């Protein structure tokens, strides 16, 4: 997967960014850079975000939730998609995602 960069300014969520959940090992790393005042959470789903008959259930990342500063972490086990949710503030959170085999 090519590096993915997504940003969100103001409250709300970005669109879901699909990942290759069939890749083994899964290996996804990400970093979030904040500008201004913002409180954000990185969320993931196990649901198929392309299935219009369902609304994907969002789960908060175990360590990158309710953050207000730059942060980085990873996903070691498969998920279908990831997004940024801005909980409060008027700043911007920008996430860079990298998924690789090694």
Q: What is the SS3 string spanning 34-60?
A: EECCEEEEEEEECCCCCCCCCCCCCEE
**Where do we find the tokens 């700043």?**
91
State the pLDDT at residue 46. 97
Q: Are 76 and 100 in contact (CB under 8 A)?
A: no
pTM for the model stands at 0.93
CATH numeric code, 4-99: 2.60.120.380
Average pLDDT value for residue range 36-47: 97
Structural tokens at position 54? 């369902």
Q: What is the pLDDT of residues 42-56, one digit of tens each?
A: 999 999 999 999 999
Under the banding of pLDDT at 50, 70 and 90, the label for residue 102 is: low
Domain boundaries, the chain: 4-99
Structural tokens at position 42? 């990185």
Q: What is the pLDDT of residues 2-31, one digit of tens each?
A: 889 999 999 999 999 999 999 888 899 999
Structural tokens at position 47? 């649901």
Under the banding of pLDDT at 50, 70 and 90, the label for residue 82 is: very high
């Amino acid at each position: 997967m090519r590096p993915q960069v997504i940003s969100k300014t103001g409250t709300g969520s970005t669109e879901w960014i699909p990942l290759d959940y069939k890749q083994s090992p899964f290996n996804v790393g990400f970093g979030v850079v904040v500008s201004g005042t913002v409180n954000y959470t990185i969320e993931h789903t196990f649901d198929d975000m392309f299935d219009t008959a369902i609304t994907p259930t969002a789960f908060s990342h175990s360590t990158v939730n309710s953050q207000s500063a730059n942060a980085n972490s990873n996903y070691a086990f498969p998920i279908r998609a990831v997004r940024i949710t801005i909980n409060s503030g008027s700043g911007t959170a920008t996430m860079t995602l990298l998924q690789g085999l090694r």
